[in-house]
């Protein structure tokens, strides 16, 4: 969970604590790579324009680009079209599960 908290902060600037996250389990993502997923439910969504990624990837030529270069709050179906096919599959499986919608964190 600490990795999820750190990734969220680095990739969006959002700061959350462990009790605010809901553990949704580990899911098959790519061959040889599973994905631990956590939900964060908040009464008020952050302004997408205020989010900032501070985590960068190095390009083959040596330059750096942010892991995320834009943010948006989208309807479910539109959001699924903005992620890769494997992440879309995992998210759709979660949504089809018996726990959906997830309760608020304690």
Q: What is the pLDDT of residue 93?
A: 93
Number of domains observed in the structure of the chain: 1
Q: What span, in angstroms and rounded, lies between the C-alpha atoms of 59 and 64?
A: 6
Average model confidence (pLDDT) across the chain: 92
**What is the distance of C-alpha 15 from the center of its chain?**
13
Assigned domain for 12 exists = yes
Q: What is the pLDDT of residue 29?
A: 95
Q: Which domain holds residue 22?
A: 2-96
Q: What is the pLDDT of residue 97?
A: 87
In the chain, which stretches have pLDDT less than 50? Answer: none
Distances (CA, A) of 73 to 10, 23, 28, 32, 99: 18, 21, 25, 30, 23
Assigned domain for 105 exists = no
Q: pTM for the whole thing? A: 0.82
Assigned domain for 103 exists = no
Q: What is the pLDDT of residue 106?
A: 57
Assigned domain for 15 exists = yes
């Amino acid at each position: 969970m600490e990795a999820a908290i750190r990734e969220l902060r680095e990739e969006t600037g959002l700061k959350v604590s462990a009790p605010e996250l809901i553990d949704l389990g580990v899911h098959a993502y790519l061959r040889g790579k599973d994905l631990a997923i956590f939900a964060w439910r908040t009464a008020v969504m952050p302004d997408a324009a205020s989010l900032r990624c501070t985590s960068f990837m190095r390009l083959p030529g040596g330059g750096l680009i942010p892991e995320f270069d834009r943010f948006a709050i989208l309807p479910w179906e539109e959001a699924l079209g903005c992620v890769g096919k494997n992440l879309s599959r995992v998210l759709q499986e979660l949504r089809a599960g018996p726990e959906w919608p997830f309760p608020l964190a304690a």
